[in-house]
Amino acid sequence: MIIFAGIVSGLPKAIGGTLELARTGEMNGAFIILLFLLSLSVTALVVFVERGQRRILINYPKRQQGRKLYGGKVVFYP
């Protein structure tokens, strides 16, 4: 949480510096747009992977109650 807070607190300064470089002509505007799209796509990929569903296989064994034998079951836990 502390590392995240440090990164977020430094973002306005970094964005302002990048925009200043674009304004003075030291950095190409197309490169800034490409950098923005790249960071947006990486963020979307991380969110997609984190929200993905991991299916866990559960095998229930056969069991016997009295004279009856109940079969095992294979299910996926969402």
Higher pLDDT, 60 or 16: 16
The pTM of this model reads 0.56
**Tens digit of each residue's pLDDT (9 = 90 or more) over 6-51:** 989 999 999 999 989 989 989 888 998 999 999 999 999 999 999 8
* Angle (deg, nearest 10), helices 29-50 and 2-24: 160
Higher pLDDT, 70 or 34: 34
Query: For the chain, how many structural domains are there in total?
Result: 1
Backbone angles phi, psi at 71, to 5 degrees: -70, 155
What pLDDT was estimated at residue 75? 83
What pLDDT was estimated at residue 59? 85
Letter string b/e over residues 43-59, b meaning 16 or more CB atoms within 10 A of that residue's CB? eeeeeeeeeeeeeeeee
